[in-house]
Amino acid sequence: MLTSSKSLIAYDKKNLDDKTLLQLYKNMLKPRMIEEKMLILLRQGKISKWFSGIGQEAISVGVTMAMHKDEYILPMHRNLGVFTTREIPLHRLFSQWQGKANGFTKGRDRSFHFGTQEFNIVGMISHLGPQLGVADGIALASLLKNKKQVTTVFTGEGGTSEGDFHEALNVASVWQLPVMFCIENNGYGLSTPTNEQYHCKDLADRGKGYGMESFVLDGNNIIEVYTKMQKLAASIRKRPRPILIEFKTFRMRGHEEASGTKYVPKALMQEWAKKDPLENFQAYLKEQRILSEKQEVAIKDAITLEINEHLQMAFDEAPIVPNVETELNDVYKSFDFKAIKPDSKTAELRLIDAISQGLKQAMEKHDDLVIMGQDIAEYGGVFKITEGFVNQFGKARVRNTPICESAIVEAAMGLSIAGMKAVMEMQFADFVTSGFNPVVNYLAKSHYRWNQQADVVIRMPCGGGVAAGPFHSQTNEAWFTKTPGLKVVYPAFPYDAKGLLTTAIEDPNPVLFFEHKALYRSIRQDVPLEYYTLPIGEASVLREGTAVTVISYGAGVHWALETLDANESISADLIDLRSLQPLDTETIFASVKKTNRVIILQEDSLFGGIASDLSALIMEHCFEYLDAPVKRVASMETPIPFVDQLEEQYMAKGRFEEALKAVLAY
């Protein structure tokens, strides 16, 4: 704190009137006083954790006041001033921090890990990076709707080492998105000082590499922050483009309270204490006779009263009562599926044509649908599924992307937050590893955490049989069936592919849509030419028999058909799952209870695949009906090889017939 009443920060009030200056002061004072109260409650065990922003209030407040209330802000956990300046009722914040139902996450996530559409705030997740790409998506929606709005997103200096930071800046620059990227450079990433975080003079210099303007601001000077950000925001609204701003500031308390500050040199703490943004601004206002002692006392008394009243409201709120049904029902946003019957007019289409047609008709039906992916515009995608789309829908809606899977998944999420739909083509399903984090941690969990839908479909060209080797041939559906909040669809036929894709796009939940590459041009079927939908979560019984139940999906369905055609004497139920999450257990169990024998065929390697869970479900629910152990047939426990003879040996196809006959002979 200041040792004298004189301000040590040089302020230039420019054309700001006294009312605005006082409002800046009040907006900084409120989060400071709330924090001081929270630190007491933390010691009393009334909240579980606290990430302090003391000493950084000028950034949160200045930036938020420079923006319009209908513009999105994506803060981090040291930006309490964003939430209070947006005038979120304090009792709701207190309820959030105490894990009460009147918070924003129903006790499912803590502190500042939440968003609220009511206040146009989108909170961060612990992985730090994804909110940057999400800001790109929100800004893209603003650009497409010509709303002339700015999206502002925060990160710390440590977060700039994340790949998401660089991907998001590059995408924003290439697409000229109206985003302000704000780096709060507060000296430490937990205990790691900046000299171990990056090796450039200023982080703002990184803007040059992405072809964007960048600025370094004194993050403790509230007038400088507010006036500069106000000017930049106004400029971006007129001429959309991204801007990178680095705020020099300091973290006066630990990363979170338990970590302490012993790793910080004492002299450095003392130096920055003299630059306290609130104390200095208060001193300045008194020097300028804008704030009197009497006003100061009155303002602080009013804030204290508000804090205490709202705290009591939160304390009086009943604890959350666990309810299994409520928890399960909130994993997915409710979706009222409406079956659109197929037209009688059909044509024989390949799987690839059916997918292309369904996607095209969805684009025609949904004006707010955007497709993104590598090479999908003029080139039409590596499999030519979007060939010609750019001529019909334009490059605004059919968007080539840089090679940055993570940022594009995040941008798709941002479009959903802004009320639009997105389809992302993962050029090969294998490449999802480069965007895995936002899929399983952001898309999958957003509705459960704070009631935000992720209206995103990720198309996943997958599978072997095309001699493409270990990095272009995986069928990795099991990575996602394990993740609550995702839906996983895997059609084997053109008719199913078109109808399920249109439904996936209508569904407000995130859907991983697997498309087997070897089936693209090898499987044909009569498909309705008009738009239609099929329900996700219903299996298809392709053949009916009495001796055995065969369960498969994707290419495995066709392997099973070939085997059964070659063994006409085998009377089998053949179930094509079509959807892996949700799973049609009713159809499976009914068949098993009829045939009393089961074999499950999958292309994926055995351990940890969906066949294992299917087997466990059948054993738990149908054990007394079984006349033989459940048999699983899968590919080898190796990465998928390239050369034909090795790939053929790897595949489960060659081992299915023998296994099927063994089950029947048991």
**Residue 2: pLDDT band by 50, 70, 90 thresholds?**
very low
- In the block, tokens 């207190």 appear at 94
How far, in Å, CA of 190 to CA of 158, rounded?
9
How far, in Å, CA of 463 to CA of 478, rounded?
13
Helix (H) or strand (E) holding 185: strand 179-185
Residue 638 has pLDDT above 80, yes or no: yes
What residue type is assigned to position 24 of the chain? L
DSSP string of 310-363, one letter each residue: HHHHHHHSPPPPP-HHHHHHTSS--------PPPS-EEEEEHHHHHHHHHHHHH
Lowest mean pLDDT among 270-279, 374-383, 436-445, 593-602: 270-279
Lowest mean pLDDT among 116-125, 194-203, 451-460: 194-203
Q: Checking DSSP bridges between strand 179-185 and strand 188-189, what pairing results, if any?
A: unpaired
Q: Is the peptide bond before 582 cis (omega within 30 degrees of 0)?
A: yes
- In the block, tokens 């949904």 appear at 366
Q: What is the mean pLDDT of residues 491-509?
A: 98
Which residue in 77, 472, 516, 558 is the catalytic one? 472
Contact 581, 575 (CB under 8 A): no
pLDDT tens track for 130-187: 999 999 999 999 999 999 999 999 999 989 999 999 999 999 999 999 999 999 998 7
Residue 257 has pLDDT above 70, yes or no: no
How far, in Å, CA of 562 to CA of 462, rounded?
21
- In the block, tokens 């409710």 appear at 334
Model pLDDT, residue 4: 53
Nearest C-alpha neighbor of 517 from the set 408, 625, 366, 385: 385
How far, in Å, CA of 10 to CA of 284, rounded?
9
pLDDT tens track for 72-87: 999 998 999 999 999 9
**Diameter of the chain by CA atoms?**
98
- CA distances to 108, 294, 534 from 383, in Å: 41, 72, 24
Model pLDDT, residue 3: 46
- This model's pTM is above 0.85: yes
Residue 530 has pLDDT above 80, yes or no: yes
Q: Where do the H-state alpha helices sit in 217-329?
A: 222-238, 266-273, 277-287, 293-316, 324-329
Which residues are paired to 541 by β-bridges?
575
Contact 631, 659 (CB under 8 A): yes
Model pLDDT, residue 1: 45
Helix (H) or strand (E) holding 516: strand 511-516
Helix (H) or strand (E) holding 424: strand 421-425
Q: Centre a 10 Å sphere on the Cβ of residue 573 and count the other Cβ atoms it contains.
A: 24
Model pLDDT, residue 439: 98
472 among known catalytic residues: yes
Nearest C-alpha neighbor of 447 from the set 97, 106, 136, 154: 106
Helices 163-175, 130-144: axis angle to 10 degrees equals 10
Q: Which pair of structure tokens corresponds to residue 243? A: 């801007």
At 53, is the secondary structure helix, strand, or coil? Answer: coil
Q: Which pair of structure tokens corresponds to residue 71? A: 């513009």
Nearest C-alpha neighbor of 131 from the set 96, 175, 168, 180: 168
Contact 251, 78 (CB under 8 A): yes
Residues 6+ apart with CB under 8 A from 24: 61, 62, 65, 222, 223, 226, 281
Q: Centre a 10 Å sphere on the Cβ of residue 325 and count the other Cβ atoms it contains.
A: 7
Residue 572 has pLDDT above 60, yes or no: yes
Which residues are paired to 424 by β-bridges?
372, 458
Which carries the bigger pLDDT value, residue 193 or residue 227? 227
Lowest mean pLDDT among 2-16, 106-120, 269-283, 554-568: 2-16
Residues 6+ apart with CB under 8 A from 214: 204, 205, 206, 207, 208, 243, 244, 245, 246
What integer best gives the mean pLDDT of the chain? 95
Model pLDDT, residue 335: 97
Residue 379 has pLDDT above 70, yes or no: yes
Count of alpha carbons within 13 Å of 663, Cβ hemisphere only?
26
How far, in Å, CA of 6 to CA of 52, rounded?
26
Residues 6+ apart with CB under 8 A from 145: none
How far, in Å, CA of 552 to CA of 463, rounded?
14
Q: Checking DSSP bridges between strand 524-528 and strand 631-635, what pairing results, if any?
A: unpaired
**Residue 397: pLDDT band by 50, 70, 90 thresholds?**
very high
